Structure formats: structure tokens, C-alpha cells
């Protein structure tokens, strides 16, 4: 049975019970009706969020993510503009939509003010450069910044995809008119392959704009399948490892694939040292595999020690990366007219190297297809879709037993109430019930006093725990003040001469040409986004710790259970001439409905001070010290905010529990009065009422529910 079938049959039951709702004053019917409403919300939320398979493409700026997606999803059509620099590295989510549409999310005014402030700085950091470039882009575009930002979001629809693609370039392209002001875009396309699937093109964590970095982290936390692109020529460098460490979600990712992209560039770098294409590919594969085993093995070990077993398992399985070349895919499958200038240049260089260094070798169609390796990528892409469907179905099924358990509990309460009504109508008369009610009301004060003692015990424990929890929070700050020092790489280019002499061509003897190669140097830095994440993590952990300890003290369900047990004990030890069975269920229902308070904390934006004053990589020793001081100050502010809020909330909860103590007798009395009023109405038409309750009893009997719900 599916959850949808259960919901439909529960709906039928609720329809039948609807007419009974007003005859039960203690929510016996309405509780079941609310189950249907809650389940409907769960199913709708599941369909909207969980039914969508989120596939993310991760990698540094210039790793070739947009080109990869254009080739994989759009047959090479440049739907997604490529980001030439970090300044245009905006996140794009691609979804299915019947009408081609583009949704744009701009920076908030506060975020843009921070970017403008950063652009005024005098240092040479990457963050300052990007901020200056963004401000310059806006100035060149001659647009009204405040007017654009006031929109917050914007939706553009078009009947033609080509028109929409041209529009997209204005918001995400390297020279787009509005690109500098855009934090995220969402593209809706009438592509059947996108039904139920979202594709996320991420900007990479070497994005120096913190607000975009945080947006990327939020989006990545929702992803189920991740394709991680690393340039084969600089495979799994420190920036890649940093990206995997910080951006890859700790949970939720079910499939992770490692791609050594731009494989053609690695062949160009390595090929002149090899005797053949085959030797070059063998050497590259061995080198890439060894690099993956070492770097990802070390990272997996760190994740496992941190308690992230699932993520560690995923990383350890990435020992053999998938080599791939979007350009080679284009060489093999696209008409030459679709090649852009960069593709044409790379194609020429590869052909010349094969002719010069591999004894006049000519690339074949099979060579291009093998280097492209797109069949392997498509296989992983399709397998991920199929396997995710299985996971989604499993998650759907988990809703059913939970829904059934809640329904069984609600039905049992209703059965008790119905049986009590039938027994009362068959064995009592209204005068006896009225007398019993008066006796019970006289005993209410004694009963409520016993129950109030349990609440008093809880209050004492709460008052004692408040200071203990505050001390623990203060002590935990220290572990969040440490920032990891990262090692960055700077790429440099140098020229070198290569002989172009051919033995068969005397005119070429002694000739040479200039070629270029790159090398890297290391530098150390602290990451501003690390500090932001430290603060956010401390705030989240504080909130979780407070609520865990506090709710462990309150334990609303346990408190209600203790109150109900005390009630039963008090009624059972009453005098022999006092039989309160008729009203025991009523009093029990009152206790179940007690609205006991819970603690709720609001964190706000605790990292704002860091994001306002620091961005990107912090390299100088003085700036590093300032960042550490700002981090410590922000952590102290978070502690004060949560601790003050916690104490204020705890005090309010004490007041609420005290009110519950004071009003308990009144609530019990009101419950008795409501029940007796309904019984009096039933006695007015006794035989008819008995028949109706018998019919209701049959409706919710185990046999009837087996047919209706199971």
C-alpha cells in the first residue's frame, strides 16, 4: 500500500467522522481530522522538495563546469554562459518549466553596501579586486543600483528559449549588464529530461564574495548527487581539496563522482614528453589515479575522524577519476561551425603536437570519443537518476508506518470515549451521573494538587539547570576560536623554446618556436568564510545543545504521562462508593491536551560583523590577527545573545508552567462540564443515541479499519 492510498482512505474515514466532531469536546474526533491535514502537508512537501533529484556540478572557477553542463544537457549549445573570472561566478539552478523563464535573485542593499565598502580598501587581496571589478561593472553599465536591488527578485518569461538564453547572459555573463548585482539565478526550461530533476551550476568556493559563498553552501546542502570537476592539468590541487572540505555537504549526498576535466589540456602539457598518444594517456591516468588515492584518502580519513562516515565512504570510493574533455566531445560530435575560437585553437594545437612529436600521428574519431569519455559520464548521470528514484520510494514508504502509528493511537482514544458513552447510556441515569459529577468536582482540588506536585518538580529542575547550561556554553567557545591556515597556489606563466627542426626538411633545421608553461608557488592564508562558518556552527550547536538539555528536562510527553498516572492512581484509591470510571477518560483527555511550553531560540545573523569587514583570503599577518580577534568577539556576542535569550525564555516557561498549575483544576472542571452537557443531550434521545454510538463503534472497529485503512 502506498502513502497516497493510505491518505485517500484516511480521507474517506475523516469524511465519515466529520459529523461526529461536535459531539466530542475533548478532541477525540478532531485529532483524527488533524492527522489527515498534517499528512496532506507532509505528502505535498515531500513531493515538492524530496521528489526533486538535485544534481550539482562543483569545481573551481575556470574548471569548465558551464561548458560541461552545456555539452551534457544541451548538446553543446551555450545555454549557460561561462564565468571567466570569480567576479561573475553566480550560482544557477536549472529546473523544468512549461514556459521558459528566468528568475533572478539580487544582492540585498546591505550586501551591496558591503561590496562597495570593500572596493574602497587599498590592499591587493583577491576579494578587494573582485569588489572593485563588480563596482566598475555597475558603473560601466550605467544602471540605477538602488532601483534594481529594491526588486530583490525578478522573473522573466519568454516563448523562445534562444531569447531567454540571450537574456540570461545579461544577468550571468562575464560582461552582462546586471551580472554584478546578481547573487543567484534559476532557469526554467521545457526540457522533459529535467522533469523531477534540478541541475545546480555552482560558482566554486574560490568565490571571494562571502554572501555568494554562503548562498552556495545553502544550495549545496540540498544536493543529492555531485559531479566534482577538477582540471586534469592541475588535478586536486589545494584549492580543490579546500573546496571539497568546505563546500561538500556532510550529509545528504548519495552519489559523488570525480571528474578530471579539460583532459585535452593535460594531454597538451604532457604530450611533447611522450612517444605516442597511448603513452601519454597511460602516464596521465596513472598520475591522476595516484593523486586521487593520496589526496582523497587523506581527506576521507579526516572526515571519518570527524564522525562523517557516509561522506568518508564516498570519498574513499573516488580512487579512479573519470577523465573527460568537453572539447574532445565537441570535436567528435559537433559540426565545425559550432566550435568557438578556444576550441578551434586547442584542436589546432593538438593536431600540430601529434604531427610534430608523435611522428605525424593523426587523431581519429575514436580518439576524440575516448578522450571525451562522455559515454561514461552519461552512464553515471543516468544511474544516479535511477538509483535516486529507488531512494525516494524508500523514503515515501517510511511515511506510512509513522502515519499508521499516529492513527492507531488516535483511534484508541476515540474507542475509549465511545465505549464510555455507550456504557453510561446503558447503565446509568442522568440523575446518578449528575450526582457523580458533583462528587468529582469536590475532589478536583485534591486531584489537581497531586498533579501540580509533578509540575513543581519540573520547575525546580529547570531553575537548577539554567546556570549549569550557561557555564557549559561559555566553556565551548574555545574550540571554535581556532582557524585553519590554508596553503594557496599562485599560477605563473613562463616561455620556453621548442625545436621545430625536421630531419627531412633542411630548411627547418635550427628553427624553433616559443611555447608557454605554467608553474605554481605556495602562500599561506586564512579564509574569511572559515570564520563565518565557525560562528554559524557555534550558534547552531549552541542552539541544539540548549534545546536538547532543556527539552530533556521538560519532556512534555513524559510529564503528561506522569500526570495521567497520578490521575489514575488518585481515582483508583478513592472511596468504594465513588466510581469515576465514567469520567476518567474525560480527565485523561484534558491532560493529553495540556499545551506545555517548549523552548525556541532565534539565532539571527551572528556572522554579520565578519562578512562586513573581511572577504576571501586573508594573507597579511596583521589582517590574520584582526580576523582572529573579530572571530573571538563575534563568538562572545553569539554566546551573550543566546544566553540572554535562553534565560528570558526559561523564565517565561516558568511562568507558563505556573499558570498551568493554577489553571489545572479549572481545566479539569470544564472538561467534566462539557462531557456532562453532551451526555444530557444524549439521554434526551437515549435509544437513538445508543444506536448512533454503536454505528460509530462499528465504523472504527478493527475489522472496519482493516478494510478502510490497511
- Edge-to-edge strand ranges of the sheet holding 617-618: 486-499, 512-527, 617-618
Burial (Cβ within 10 Å: 0-12, 13-18, ≥19) of residue 605: exposed
What integer best gives the mean pLDDT of the chain? 77
- Determine the Cα–Cα distance for residues 288 and 301; give it in Å rounded to an integer: 20
Angle between helices 277-305 and 238-247 (to 10 degrees): 40
Q: Averaged over 136-161, what is the pLDDT?
A: 86
For the chain, the first-to-last Cα distance in angstroms comes to: 8
- Determine the Cα–Cα distance for residues 173 and 664; give it in Å rounded to an integer: 65
**Portion of the chain with pLDDT greater than 90, in percent:** 7
pLDDT tens for each residue of 170-181: 888 777 888 888
Rg for the chain (alpha carbons), in Å? 34
pLDDT tens for each residue of 412-467: 888 888 888 888 788 777 777 677 667 666 666 666 676 677 677 777 777 777 77
- Determine the Cα–Cα distance for residues 287 and 281; give it in Å rounded to an integer: 10
Look at residue 101 and give its three-state secondary structure.
strand
pLDDT tens for each residue of 620-672: 888 888 888 888 888 888 888 777 777 776 676 677 667 766 666 666 667 66
pLDDT, residue 414, reads: 85
In the DSSP assignment, the letter for residue 48 is I
pLDDT, residue 267, reads: 92
Q: Is there a contact between 509 and 543 (Cβ–Cβ < 8 Å)?
A: no
SS3 content of the chain, % helix, strand, coil (to 5): 65, 10, 20
CA proximity to 60, closest of 183, 290, 214, 235: 235
Q: Averaged over 330-343, what is the pLDDT?
A: 88
Look at residue 102 and give its three-state secondary structure.
strand
pLDDT, residue 140, reads: 86
Q: Is the pLDDT of residue 49 over 70?
A: no
**What separation in angstroms does the CA of 164 have from each of 72, 96, 175, 582, 601?**
19, 14, 17, 71, 43
Angle at 370 between CA 365 and CA 371, to 5 degrees: 100
pLDDT tens for each residue of 531-575: 877 787 777 677 766 766 665 555 555 666 666 666 666 655 554
- Determine the Cα–Cα distance for residues 227 and 65; give it in Å rounded to an integer: 9
pLDDT tens for each residue of 260-311: 999 998 998 888 778 899 999 999 999 999 989 988 888 888 778 766 777 8
Residue 628's contacts (CB-CB under 8 Å, 6 or more residues apart) are 481, 483, 526
252 sits in the region (left: phi over 0; alpha: psi -120 to 50; else beta) called: left
Burial (Cβ within 10 Å: 0-12, 13-18, ≥19) of residue 348: exposed
- Determine the Cα–Cα distance for residues 27 and 111; give it in Å rounded to an integer: 49
Angle at 477 between CA 476 and CA 482, to 5 degrees: 115
pLDDT, residue 576, reads: 45
In this predicted model, which residue has the larger pLDDT, 334 or 60? 334
Choose the weakest-confidence range: 115-119, 414-418, 599-603: 599-603
Q: Averaged over 334-338, what is the pLDDT?
A: 88
CA proximity to 283, closest of 297, 295, 296, 266: 266
* Residue 389 parent element (H or E): helix 374-427
pTM of the model: 0.53
Q: How far is CA 410 from the centre of its chain?
A: 33
Amino acid at each position: 500500500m502506498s502513502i497516497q492510498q493510505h491518505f485517500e482512505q484516511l480521507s474517506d474515514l475523516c469524511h465519515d467522522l466529520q459529523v461526529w466532531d461536535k459531539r466530542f469536546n475533548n478532541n477525540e474526533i478532531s485529532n483524527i481530522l488533524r492527522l489527515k491535514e498534517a499528512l496532506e502537508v507532509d505528502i505535498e512537501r515531500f513531493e515538492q522538495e524530496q521528489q526533486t533529484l538535485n544534481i550539482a556540478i562543483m569545481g573551481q572557477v575556470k574548471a569548465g563546469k558551464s561548458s560541461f553542463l552545456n555539452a551534457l544537457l544541451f548538446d553543446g549549445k551555450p545555454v549557460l554562459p561561462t564565468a571567466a573570472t570569480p567576479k561573475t561566478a553566480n550560482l544557477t539552478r536549472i529546473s523544468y518549466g512549461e514556459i521558459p523563464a528566468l528568475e533572478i535573485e539580487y544582492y540585498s542593499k546591505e550586501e551591496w553596501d558591503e561590496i562597495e565598502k570593500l572596493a574602497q580598501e587599498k590592499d591587493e587581496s583577491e576579494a578587494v579586486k573582485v569588489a572593485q571589478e563588480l563596482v566598475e561593472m555597475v558603473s560601466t553599465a550605467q544602471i540605477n543600483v538602488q532601483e534594481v536591488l529594491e526588486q530583490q527578485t525578478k522573473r522573466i518569461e519568454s516563448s523562445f528559449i534562444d531569447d531567454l538564453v540571450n537574456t540570461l547572459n545579461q544577468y550571468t555573463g562575464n560582461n552582462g549588464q546586471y551580472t554584478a548585482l546578481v547573487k543567484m539565478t534559476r532557469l526554467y526550461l521545457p526540457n522533459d529530461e529535467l522533469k523531477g530533476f534540478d541541475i545546480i551550476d555552482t560558482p566554486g568556493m574560490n568565490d571571494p564574495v562571502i554572501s555568494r559563498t554562503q548562498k552556495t553552501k545553502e544550495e549545496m546542502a540540498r544536493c543529492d548527487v555531485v559531479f566534482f570537476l577538477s582540471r586534469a592539468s592541475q588535478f586536486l590541487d589545494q584549492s580543490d581539496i579546500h573546496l571539497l572540505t568546505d563546500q561538500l555537504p556532510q550529509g545528504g549526498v548519495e552519489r559523488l563522482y570525480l571528474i578530471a576535466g579539460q583532459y585535452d589540456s593535460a594531454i597538451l602539457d604532457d604530450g611533447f614528453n611522450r612517444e605516442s598518444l597511448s603513452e601519454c594517456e597511460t602516464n596521465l591516468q596513472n598520475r591522476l589515479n595516484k593523486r586521487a588515492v593520496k589526496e582523497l584518502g587523506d581527506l576521507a580519513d579526516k572526515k571519518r575522524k570527524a564522525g562523517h562516515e557516509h561522506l568518508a565512504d564516498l570519498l574513499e570510493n573516488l580512487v579512479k577519476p573519470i577523465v573527460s574533455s568537453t572539447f574532445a566531445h565537441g570535436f567528435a560530435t559537433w559540426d565545425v561551425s559550432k566550435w568557438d575560437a578556444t576550441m578551434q585553437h586547442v584542436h589546432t594545437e593538438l593536431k600540430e603536437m601529434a604531427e610534430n612529436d608523435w611522428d605525424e600521428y593523426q587523431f581519429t574519431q575514436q580518439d576524440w570519443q575516448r578522450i571525451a569519455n562522455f559515454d561514461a559520464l552519461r552512464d553515471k548521470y543516468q544511474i544516479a537518476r535511477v538509483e535516486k528514484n529507488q531512494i525516494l520510494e524508500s523514503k515515501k514508504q517510511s511515511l506510512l508506518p509513522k502515519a499508521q502509528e499516529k492513527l492507531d493511537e488516535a483511534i484508541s482514544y476515540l474507542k475509549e470515549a465511545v465505549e464510555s458513552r455507550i456504557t453510561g447510556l446503558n447503565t446509568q441515569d442522568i440523575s446518578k451521573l449528575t450526582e457523580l459529577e458533583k462528587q468529582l468536582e469536590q475532589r478536583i482540588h485534591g486531584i489537581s494538587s497531586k498533579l501540580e506536585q509533578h509540575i513543581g518538580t519540573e520547575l525546580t529542575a529547570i531553575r537548577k539547570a539554567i546556570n549549569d547550561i550557561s557555564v557549559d556554553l561559555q566553556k565551548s567557545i574555545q574550540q571554535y576560536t581556532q582557524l585553519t591556515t590554508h596553503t594557496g597556489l599562485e599560477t605563473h606563466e613562463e616561455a620556453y623554446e621548442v625545436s621545430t627542426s625536421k630531419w627531412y626538411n633542411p630548411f627547418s633545421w635550427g628553427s624553433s618556436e616559443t611555447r608557454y608553461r605554467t608553474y605554481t608557488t605556495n602562500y599561506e592564508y586564512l579564509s574569511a568564510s572559515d570564520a563565518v562558518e565557525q560562528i554559524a556552527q557555534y550558534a547552531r550547536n549552541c542552539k541544539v545543545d540548549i534545546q536538547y538539555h532543556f527539552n530533556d528536562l521538560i519532556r512534555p510527553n513524559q510529564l503528561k504521562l506522569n500526570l495521567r498516572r497520578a490521575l489514575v492512581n488518585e481515582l483508583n484509591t478513592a472511596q468504594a462508593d465513588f466510581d469515576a470510571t465514567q469520567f476518567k477518560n474525560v480527565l485523561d483527555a484534558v491532560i493529553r491536551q495540556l499545551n506545555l511550553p517548549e523552548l525556541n531560540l532565534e539565532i539571527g545573523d551572528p556572522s554579520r560583523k565578519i562578512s562586513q569587514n573581511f572577504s576571501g583570503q586573508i594573507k597579511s599577518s596583521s589582517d590574520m590577527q584582526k580576523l582572529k580577534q573579530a572571530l573571538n568577539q563575534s563568538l562572545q556576542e553569539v554566546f551573550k545573545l543566546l544566553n540572554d535569550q535562553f534565560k528570558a525564555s526559561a523564565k517565561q516557561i516558568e511562568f507558563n508552567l505556573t499558570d498551568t498549575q493554577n489553571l489545572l483544576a479549572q481545566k479539569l472542571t470544564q472538561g467534566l462540564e462539557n462531557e456532562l452537557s453532551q451526555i444530557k443531550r444524549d439521554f434526551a434521545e437515549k435509544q437513538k443515541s445508543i444506536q448512533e454510538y454503536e454505528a460509530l463503534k462499528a465504523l472504527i472497529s478493527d475489522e472496519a479499519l482493516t478494510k478502510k485503512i490497511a
